Amino acid sequence: MMKKIINFTLFQISWFAAVLGAAKEAAWLGPLVLVPVLAVHMSLTDDRQGEQKLLLAAGLLGFLCDTALVNAGVFSPIQHLVPRPFSPPWMVGLWMSFAATLNVSLVWLRRRYPLATVFGAIGGPLAYYSGAELGATEAPLSLKRRYP
């Protein structure tokens, strides 16, 4: 149980560091915080090699998906180190941090595909929306009501 609490807490820390860092013109903060977060995560896992593959795959997949979303004009993240339309490192770190929860604090969703689908369908867009509300991205397709 303690591993799950640590894992969930580390995810929250890395998410807020990345999003608020980007929003406050310190986009380097997310990747900087991610290093010790993932180091702690790796020290607590039994399958280091499998977990490394998962984290790297999630980072690559996240980079490709977010880059596609930026190209499609869905949102525009605060850039850092890489030019538009590529996904910045702080967002790639978010994907890796999320992947670190899959075998620990979110393991209860394993093989519960309908439930995992519902959580993903709600949690994914909510994370992007929250990032936009906190100022880490500009969402051209914003849900905000515009008044004249």
pLDDT digits (tens, 9 = 90+) for 34-64: 999 999 999 999 899 999 999 999 999 999 9
> pLDDT tier at 78 (50, 70, 90 boundaries)?
confident
Q: Where are the domains of the chain?
A: 2-138
Q: Are 134 and 23 in contact (CB under 8 A)?
A: yes
Highest mean pLDDT among 70-79, 93-102, 126-135: 93-102
The model carries a pTM of: 0.86
What's the gap between Cα 101 and its chain centre?
A: 11
Q: Which of 36, 39, 37, 52 is nearest to 103 (CA)?
A: 52
- Grouping H, G, I as helix, E, B as strand and the rest as coil, residue 85 is coil
Residue 107 to residue 30: CA distance in whole angstroms: 24
Residues 6+ apart with CB under 8 A from 112: none
What are 107-126's pLDDT values in tens digits?
999 999 999 999 999 998 88
Residue 24 to residue 28: CA distance in whole angstroms: 10
Percent of the chain with pLDDT over 70: 93
Residue 94 to residue 29: CA distance in whole angstroms: 12
